[in-house]
Amino acid sequence: MRAFARELSERPAGCASLLIALEECLDPPTTVILRGDPATCASWRRMLERRYRPNERTLDLSREDALPETLAKPQEADGAAAAWIYKGTSCLPPIRTLDQIEAALEAGP
């Protein structure tokens, strides 16, 4: 960011991608990772995406088998759905109901 500081200040319209990167550095997005029962995860994703939350991403990884270590959240023994909420590099413990997910997102960082 420092290397492009002058360009950012003089011609910000020409640096849209850098401005987005700067915003995400200053205020990291919230990421919700869903794993477990595909039907439940799909339902949760639809419900979570009904509200406008521009700084939030929802990843339904319920149908993915081979994931990188950082995304490979453990599956529940009974196959039930679970969510992990990340704010930057901080992660909440697994959450197992949509109401609890919504409450955690409303609570903020």
| CATH number of the domain that residue 93 is part of | 3.40.30
How far, in Å, CA of 81 to CA of 84, rounded? 10
Reported pTM: 0.78
Whole-angstrom Cα Rg for the chain: 17
Q: What percent of the chain has pLDDT over 70?
A: 94
* 23 lies in some domain: no
Question: Residue-wise over 47-84: b if at least 16 C-beta within 10 A, else e?
Answer: ebeeeeeeebebbbbbeeeeeeeeeebeeeeeeebbbb
* 4 lies in some domain: no
Give me the domain span that covers residue 60: 28-107
Q: Report residue 76's pLDDT band, with 50, 70 and 90 as the boundaries.
A: low
* 45 lies in some domain: yes
The pLDDT score that the predictor gives to residue 77 is 67
Of 57, 107, 66, nearest in space to 86 by CA: 57
When divided into structural domains, the chain yields a total of 1
